[in-house]
Amino acid sequence: MSTAAEAIEAERAPAVRAPVLAIRDLAVTFPGAVKALRGVTLDIAPGEIVGLVGESGSGKSVLGLAALGLLPPAATITGSVLLDGRQMVGTSDEERRLARRRYAGAVFQDPMTSLNPTMKVGRQVAEAAGSTEAAIEALERARVPEPRRRAGQYPHELSGGLRQRVMIAMAIAGSPDLVVADEPTTALDVTVQAEILALLTTIRDETGSSILFVTHDLAVAAELADRIAVLYGGRLAEIGPAADVLHRPCHPYTVALMAARLRGDSPRATMLPTLEGEPPDPRALPPGCPFAPRCPLAEPACDAALPEPEAAPTHDGLVACLHAGESAGARLRVREAPSPRGDPEGAATLDVGVPLGQKRGPTGATPHPGPALLLTDITKAFGKGDRRRAVVDGLSLEVPAGGSLALVGESGCGKTTTLRMAVGLENPDGGEIHVGPGGSPQLVFQDAGASLTPWLTVGEMLEERLRTDGLDAPARRTRSVEVLQMVGLPADVATRRPRQLSGGQRQRVALARAVAVPPALLACDEPISALDVSLAATVLNLLMNLRAELGMAMLFVTHDLAAARFIGDRVAVMAGGRIIEEGPSEDILTNPQHPHTAALVGAIPRFEAHA
């Protein structure tokens, strides 16, 4: 073909648009030699949704901040980040601010930390949109009902889902080419989460904006993303089309995340597969593959050097692994929390599929006759005068001794208030609460870090709890070590303070403190809602073990029906302060009778979205 003909053909060919976001060999280090990202390369095409998946500490949020040019001045950054062709690394604050204002929007996990509590939401959106009318239009595009009325309200007057919609309205007000959404659905109920995911997809379709969606939940990514990128130890482990990464994963880490996920049909009688160990410390990363210490396929060559991303053997993407495509699922192990009377190494493991009933039976006290908890016609209201509102309205439920009841419902339905009354932290306005004999009920909070005393060591917290059992000092120290072993923690954790522990370790310490003196009833308030997939599986396994080990009853409050089914012998669904449906956990998920329950079941994220 002649040069002239080539030129004509080139003019006729459709133009290939440059990536909206082009990241090249990005490395980010924070003071203290914390290596958050180590040579990440990633493109996002116009109109594309990329799901960025990985455990806490993998570098997901740091990459999102880098895309927005929002990394702190103390960070050392190398590589390149181009946002619509504008460099976000090594340029001035003003240049990055202008690029961000013109080309990018952001939606973060907790809108209350991003919204100004003293300013009406309409004014806040107008600052991003440019005018009041533009703000109303942005609220309409974000599907905020009655946008003009909502614009005149303060953030605290809106529900969590509406606040997140306001954040989305602010993010899209300037018609950005890229929206960075960092865990925007983690704290939301399953139905609100489904609405937000659908909204983001609609906004992409209507505006053509690209979306970088940061999440630790593969099922959520499956609902939304065109491609999925998996990060581990600050490195790109695998990236490819969503359907391929989900159903034909190449990297052992991706395989492990898929195996550990809790599904609506996960067998109730078996332990969930989990990843042994924890993510690497970014201050002391191994010289080779960061996943090698936890990988069932690791060999000496994996420790020699960092593997570079190469063409994946099972899909049209990339993978960084010497054993790409080899099945690791068959070699995953289930870690069981060791018993203080168990093996001397304190690391009992079981093959996947061992029923709970075939493991050691309860060694705690024999359950007392009668229910562990009985609530009869309980009522509770908050507020004064005309603003007084019933939160719990004539609720009755029973938790049998040694049994487990999961209480499910959306935010505001009254489930946490019910739990607080059950353990004595709130007094009912009416009705009766009967707690069975045995140790006083213990509560495990959603945020384990906030519930631990920051200036005490773990050992001091446990011994403080054991003083109520009348043990002398040597006995308290011995029992503290036993309890730590029971929740799968080494004895030296007793010398550490909460800030020195990972999120998973803090959650285990909270459980250890709750069961140090075995209670007749353990109450759990959303204990896995913000945890990574593997860590959530570990905590659920641990709760099952502790229940069997100690013979205690459990009241498990959650908005996650899959978790409710796994933990609860029975599930009670709550709405408007009342129980609207209760039954065996299997029946609630497979044959819901109430329309609200059916809606909750239908909103569970499913991997089949990309099957």
Residue 335 is assigned to a structural domain of this protein: no
Q: Facing residues of 37 across strands?
A: 28
pLDDT range class, residue 359, cuts 50, 70, 90: very low
Instruction: Choose one of 225, 252, 275: the last residue of a domain.
Output: 225
State the pLDDT at residue 56.
81
243-247, 410-414, 520-524, 575-579: segment of lowest average pLDDT: 410-414
Mean pLDDT, residues 128-148 taken together: 89
Q: Is the pLDDT of residue 600 over 90?
A: no
pLDDT range class, residue 336, cuts 50, 70, 90: very low
Q: Is the pLDDT of residue 17 over 90?
A: no
Kindly list the distances between the CA atom of residue 17 and the CA atoms of 14, 22, 230, 438, in Å, as whole numbers in the listed order.
9, 12, 25, 68
Cα–Cα distance for residue pair 279/296, rounded to 1 Å: 15
Q: Is the pLDDT of residue 14 over 50?
A: no
Q: Is the pLDDT of residue 516 over 60?
A: yes
HSE at residue 345, side-chain half, CA atoms within 13 A, is 4
Mean pLDDT, residues 534-561 taken together: 86
* Residue 412 belongs to domain spanning: 371-610
pLDDT range class, residue 369, cuts 50, 70, 90: low
Residue 111 is assigned to a structural domain of this protein: yes
Instruction: Choose one of 225, 254, 279: the last residue of a domain.
Output: 225
CATH code for position 394: 3.40.50.300
3-state helix, strand, coil in the chain (%, to 5): 40, 25, 40
Q: DSSP 3-state assignment of 295? A: coil
Q: Taking Cα atoms as reference points, which of 54, 63, 55 lies closest to residue 36?
A: 63
pLDDT range class, residue 432, cuts 50, 70, 90: very high
State the pLDDT at residue 488.
79
State the pLDDT at residue 328.
61
Q: Is the pLDDT of residue 278 over 50?
A: yes
Running DSSP on this structure, what letter comes out for residue 532? -
State the pLDDT at residue 338.
40
Cα–Cα distance for residue pair 555/429, rounded to 1 Å: 21
State the pLDDT at residue 233.
93
pLDDT range class, residue 7, cuts 50, 70, 90: very low
Residue 403 structure tokens? 């049994």
First to last CA, the chain: 43
pLDDT range class, residue 277, cuts 50, 70, 90: confident
Mean pLDDT, residues 274-286 taken together: 84
- CA 94 and chain centroid, separation: 34
Q: Is the pLDDT of residue 346 over 50?
A: no
State the pLDDT at residue 80.
96
Q: What is the mean pLDDT of the chain?
A: 84
Residue 272 is assigned to a structural domain of this protein: no
Mean pLDDT, residues 338-354 taken together: 35
By CB atoms closer than 10 A (0-12, 13-18, 19+), residue 121 is buried
Q: Is the pLDDT of residue 19 over 70?
A: yes
Q: How many domains does the chain have?
A: 2
Mean pLDDT, residues 537-557 taken together: 87
pLDDT range class, residue 356, cuts 50, 70, 90: very low
Q: What type of residue is 111?
A: P
Instruction: Choose one of 225, 240, 255: the last residue of a domain.
Output: 225
Q: Is the pLDDT of residue 541 over 70?
A: yes
24-38, 220-234, 326-340: segment of lowest average pLDDT: 326-340
Q: Taking Cα atoms as reference points, which of 186, 216, 212 lies closest to residue 58?
A: 216
Residue 109 is assigned to a structural domain of this protein: yes
State the pLDDT at residue 607.
66
Percent of the chain past pLDDT 90, that is, above it, reads 39
Q: Is the pLDDT of residue 342 over 60?
A: no
Q: Is the pLDDT of residue 109 over 90?
A: no
State the pLDDT at residue 430.
93
Q: Taking Cα atoms as reference points, which of 481, 543, 533 lies closest to residue 507?
A: 543
State the pLDDT at residue 561.
86
**Higher pLDDT among residues 18 and 268, named by residue:** 18
**Higher pLDDT among residues 171 and 187, named by residue:** 171
**Torsion angle of C-alpha atoms 469, 474, 478, 479, degrees rounded to 10:** 0
Kindly list the distances between the CA atom of residue 311 and the CA atoms of 58, 240, 308, 319, 566, in Å, as whole numbers in the listed order.
22, 10, 10, 6, 38
Q: Is the pLDDT of residue 580 over 50?
A: yes
Residue 249 is assigned to a structural domain of this protein: no
pLDDT range class, residue 180, cuts 50, 70, 90: very high
State the pLDDT at residue 362.
35
Length of the chain: 611
Q: Which of 156-170, 243-257, 334-348 has the highest mean pLDDT?
A: 243-257
State the pLDDT at residue 506.
84
Q: Is the pLDDT of residue 351 over 50?
A: no
Q: Is the pLDDT of residue 361 over 50?
A: no
pLDDT range class, residue 355, cuts 50, 70, 90: very low
**Higher pLDDT among residues 331 and 434, named by residue:** 434
State the pLDDT at residue 352.
28
Residue 96 is assigned to a structural domain of this protein: yes
